[in-house]
Each structure stands twice: as C-alpha cells, then as structure tokens.
C-alpha cells in the first residue's frame, strides 16, 4: 500500500512540475505573440502544429495500449509523452 501511495505521490509531483514548466513556456510564447510581426505568426503556427501532432500521437498510444494497462502506468505514460 505504501509503495502504491508513493508512486502516485511521485507521479502527482511530476504533473505539478509539468504544469509549472508549461506555465513558463506559455508566458514566453504569449509575450512573443503580443509583440506581433512575422515571428509571432511563425510562433502561432508552430504552437498549433505541435498541439495537433501531440494529440494524434497520444491518442494512438492510448488506443494501442502503449501507455500501459494500469491507471498508474497509463498516467505515467501520458506524463512521459
């Protein structure tokens, strides 16, 4: 029981760190978009293409079982993605 709890706590912390890092990246990207110009247009296109690619890859992994078969392994697989 303790091992399972520790694994979920570690996974929860990893998700928290991912959220903190994502917030930093979002701030930098939004600042670039706010400035405008050609760089902002390229950044916007890159953001959309990255999200679509990540969504397709994650869904295919989920459908084929590549993320794992337990809730914890599935959660960790999504986090590693």
Q: Read off the pLDDT of residues 14-70 as tens digits, 9 standing for 90 and up.
A: 989 999 999 999 999 999 999 999 999 999 999 999 999 999 998 998 889 888 888
The three-class DSSP label of residue 31 is helix
Q: List C-alpha distances in Å: 62 to 8, 68, 77.
A: 20, 8, 9
What pTM was computed for the model? 0.67
Domain carrying residue 62 = 2-80
pLDDT confidence tier of residue 2, bands split at 50, 70 and 90: low
What is the tally of structural domains in the chain? 1
**Tokens representing residue 34 in the block:** 């706010």
Crossing angle for the helix pair 2-35 and 38-64, nearest 10 degrees? 150
């Amino acid at each position: 029981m303790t091992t399972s709890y520790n694994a979920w706590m570690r996974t929860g912390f990893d998700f928290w760190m991912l959220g903190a890092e994502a917030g930093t990246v979002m701030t930098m990207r939004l600042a670039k978009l706010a400035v405008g110009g050609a760089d902002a247009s390229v950044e916007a296109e890159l953001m959309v293409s990255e999200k679509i690619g990540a969504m397709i890859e994650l869904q295919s992994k989920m459908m084929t079982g590549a993320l794992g078969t337990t809730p914890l392994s599935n959660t960790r697989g999504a986090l590693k993605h």
